[in-house]
Amino acid sequence: MPLTQTSLPDFDQPRLTLARVGSGLLATVMLWDFRYRSRNGLSRLTPHQLRDIGLDPMSAAAEASKPFWRD
């Protein structure tokens, strides 16, 4: 019986799983960094600048006070 690609053990499976976990972790960290920087920048805007982008100071303060891991 000849060996085929499908009959060989898949030794790369753990490596592929680790790559998926790593890329998912990287995406999460990048999202958290984006949220942190965005909220930090939002907290530095003046009321006039907030009105320019269509936000009121109270909603901007509420968004800026959220921790980076919360959506």
- Over residues 56-65, the pLDDT tens digits come to 999 999 999 9
Query: What does pTM read for this prediction?
Result: 0.71
**Model confidence at 51, in pLDDT bands (50, 70, 90)?**
very high
Give which of 35, 42, 33 is closest to 64, Cα–Cα: 42
The confidence score (pLDDT) of residue 16 equals: 72
Q: What angle do CA 42, 43, 46 make, to 5 degrees?
A: 85
Domain limits for position 41:
29-71
pLDDT band at 15 (very low <50, low <70, confident <90, very high): confident
60 within some domain = yes
Decide if 1 is inside a domain: no
49 assigned to some structural domain: yes
| Residue 67 located in a structural domain | yes
Residue 3 has pLDDT above 60, yes or no: no
Per-residue DSSP letters for 3-58?
A: --GGGS--TTHHHHHHHHHHHHHHHHHHHHHHHHHHHHHHHT--HHHHHHTT--HH
Residue 62 lies in a domain: yes
The reply to whether 2 falls in a domain is no
Domain total for the chain? 1
Residue 68: strand, helix, or coil: coil
The pLDDT value given to residue 18:
80
